[in-house]
Amino acid sequence: MTKGLKVGASVLAFCLCLPAIAAAQVGVKGGIVFSDIVGGDNNDSRWMTGWSAGGFGSARIASGFYFQPEVLYTRKGAKAAPILGGSDLKAQLDYVEVPLLFRLSPSAGPVGLDILGGVAPAFKVRARLVNDAGDEEDISDEIKSVDAGVVAGLGFHVGGFFVEGRWTEGLVKLLDVEGATSRNRVISVLAAIGF
């Protein structure tokens, strides 16, 4: 990731979080992600377990309706099928992700269901292939610097404690190679505490 993209991602995240910081609730969030790389040119990958952690803000737009920007460090990727009994090979793709979500909470009380939707631009931090022995190869030059996906999810909250599951479907071609169509696909299970 170039210095310009790092600065751009930081400024974007800070600016988008300002309304939430000023208006309502902020908090921390983290959990596990299950990711795969899908597309016509990628048929042999398998789901990989990663993680996500960061912070969020929540600004009320109307009764039960909120704008919820987040800044998350997320590990995506996939496992490659072993060849001739060899070890698993993982493509580990680390991003600073900036989900821009809208949250609908139909219940007026402190306990209720949440419906989430929005987009999630992401900025590559590093990309590598790792085998079971811990050997790794840098593949940053082959992976695009910016990713983006559409997000849909359901959650449940009790006061300032949130649990949610979300699906992120990649919209951007992952590989910086002509003719490639691979994209990220992620299922996240996250918990959050708001202050």
CA-CA distance, 67 to 146, in Å (whole number)?
23
Ramachandran region of residue 139, left (φ > 0), alpha (ψ -120 to 50) or beta?
alpha
Q: Is residue 78 within 8 Å of 36, Cβ to Cβ? A: yes
Cα four-point dihedral sign 128, 91, 98, 72: negative
**What does the alpha-carbon distance between residue 180 and residue 79 come to, in Å, rounded to a whole number?**
18
Are the C-beta atoms of 41 and 180 separated by less than 8 Å?
Answer: yes
Residue 68, C-beta contacts closer than 8 angstroms, at least 6 positions apart: 20, 56, 57, 58, 59, 99, 101, 102, 103, 116, 118
Nearest to 13 by CA among 54, 66, 60: 54
Residue 62 CA, distance from chain mean position: 26
pLDDT band of 184, cuts 50, 70, 90: very high
pLDDT in tens, 5-48: 564 556 565 555 555 445 578 999 999 999 999 986 556 788 99
Q: Say which amino acid occupies 21.
A: I
CATH class name, domain 3-194? mainly beta
Distance CA 37, CA 186 (A): 9
Q: Retrieve residue 2's tokens.
A: 């170039």
User: Which tens digit of pLDDT belongs to each residue from 144-168?
Assistant: 999 999 999 999 999 999 999 999 9
What is the mean pLDDT of the segment spanning 168-181?
A: 86
Q: What is the mean pLDDT of the chain?
A: 86
| Chain Cα centroid distance, residue 103 | 16
